[in-house]
Homo-oligomer: A and B are copies of this chain.
Amino acid sequence: MGKIVVEVMVKPEILDPQGKAIKGSLARLGIENFVDVRQGKRFTLDTAGDVTEADLEAARQAAQTLLSNPIIEDVVAVKAVTEDQA
């Protein structure tokens, strides 16, 4: 079995209210280390066999068409990973 990770983040120029809310909550917890927080999505796509280039291409296509909204989000990574990185 193989595994591909797709990572999607809100475009830097787009306001991320969720990230702002998290930053505020962290400060209330006494965690002041961070000047900005942003939240995105992470997907794992499992393949029956080892990951092939065709699988990676299918994951890139899925990332652009279904897993992200190209207007407000960037696909920041599409990569095969080992089981323990998953």
Contacts and interface: CB of A to CB of B under 8 A. Distances in A.
Interface of A: 1, 4, 7-9, 19, 22, 25-26, 29, 31, 33-48, 54-55, 58-59, 61-62, 65-67, 76-77, 85-86
Given A40-B41, A44-B38, A33 B59 contact: yes
B42 A39 contact: yes
B42 A40 contact: yes
Identical chains bound together, number: 2
A62 B42 CA distance: 18
A46 B37 contact: yes
A42 B76 CA distance: 11
Given A33-B54, A37-B46, 12 more contacts: A9-B44, A26-B62, A31-B58, A33-B45, A33-B58, A34-B46, A34-B62, A35-B46, A37-B45, A38-B43, A39-B42, A40-B44
